[in-house]
Amino acid sequence: MIDMDNKIAYISGFVFTTAMTMTIYDILMAGVIGLVGGAGGLFIWARYNKTKAMGLINADLEELWRILDDEVLGDLDEQIVEKIKEIFNRIFGKTS
């Protein structure tokens, strides 16, 4: 049975062993990459939610579908076009 002391010892041993094998530069770079990636992820998430709340995402998808329908799918067989529409609707969550 593993009690709390053993868990703490295991985790702290792992952390200290890892920290001792890394240079200060490596630790700083990992921190910078984590901060930049985290900040970028939060920014994109906030931007997506704001755009979604404004109702612009569905408008953009409608425009994308219009472009696909007019320029790309115009010369294809009707069965292929219907299959592509089905896949498109499944990916983007459209019901119409």
Q: Dump pLDDT digits (tens) for 25-68.
A: 888 898 999 999 999 888 888 887 777 776 656 556 666 667 66
What pLDDT, on a 0 to 100 scale, did the predictor assign at position 71? 62
Q: How far is CA 1 from CA 5, 6, 7, 8, 10, in A?
A: 11, 9, 11, 14, 14
Answer yes or no: are the C-beta atoms of 92 and 61 closer than 8 Å: yes
In the chain, what are the domain boundaries? 1-54, 55-96
Share of the chain above pLDDT 70, in %: 66
Q: Dump pLDDT digits (tens) for 72-87.
A: 666 667 777 777 777 7
3 state DSSP class of 23? coil
